[in-house]
Amino acid sequence: MKNTLLQPEGWVTPKGYANGVAARGTMVFTGGQIGWNAQQQFESDDFIAQTKQTLLNVRAVLEAGGAGPEHLVRLTWYVTDRNEYNSRLKELGAVYREVLGKNFPAMACVQVAGLMEERAKIEIEATAVIPP
């Protein structure tokens, strides 16, 4: 069974995410991933660079669980500056597609006052489901 995107009748189709996803199989959950490398060191304070590294980290954890971007059913993004997020959507979309491809799960994005790692500008949690 392939994951099924849920689109209520009459709703405008969202861009870059799904309203919902129905899935069956082995569930893989990531902890909150941030924009540092495997040695827990930040290489940049740029929002887009941190987002790319965060997405690479999400992908690496998924792969460790036997999943890939095509198995994503949910992403929750926590950003420290929604204005930067919104003003850089074109760059953000390009980095997203580069790392995760054209896989657009259900998604929430929340602005937070800060993250536990002071230099972090973004944190992402992911849920994937590997079909039986």
Assign 27 to helix, strand or coil. strand
Reading phi first (left if > 0) and then psi (alpha if -120 to 50, else beta), residue 75 is in: beta
The pLDDT tens digits of the residues spanning 27-64 come to 999 999 999 999 999 999 999 999 999 999 999 999 99
Residue showing tokens 């893989």:
28
Residue 130 among the catalytic residues: no
Prediction pTM value? 0.95
Token pair of 35, please?
A: 């924009």
Confidence of residue 2 (pLDDT cuts 50, 70, 90): confident
For residue 3, what pLDDT is reported?
A: 87
Per-domain residue ranges for the chain? 29-122
Average confidence score pLDDT of the chain:
96
At position 55, the amino acid (one-letter code) is: L
Q: Which CATH architecture has domain 29-122?
A: 2-Layer Sandwich (3.30)
Q: What is the pLDDT of residues 67-115, one digit of tens each?
A: 999 999 999 999 999 999 999 999 999 999 999 999 999 999 999 999 9
Which of these is catalytic: 20, 109, 115, 125?
109
Q: Which long-range contacts (CB under 8 A, 24 or more apart) does 63-69 make?
A: 65/28, 65/128, 65/130, 66/26, 66/28, 66/130, 67/28, 67/128, 67/129, 67/130, 68/128, 69/99, 69/100, 69/101, 69/103
- Residue 26 pairs with which residues in a beta bridge? 130
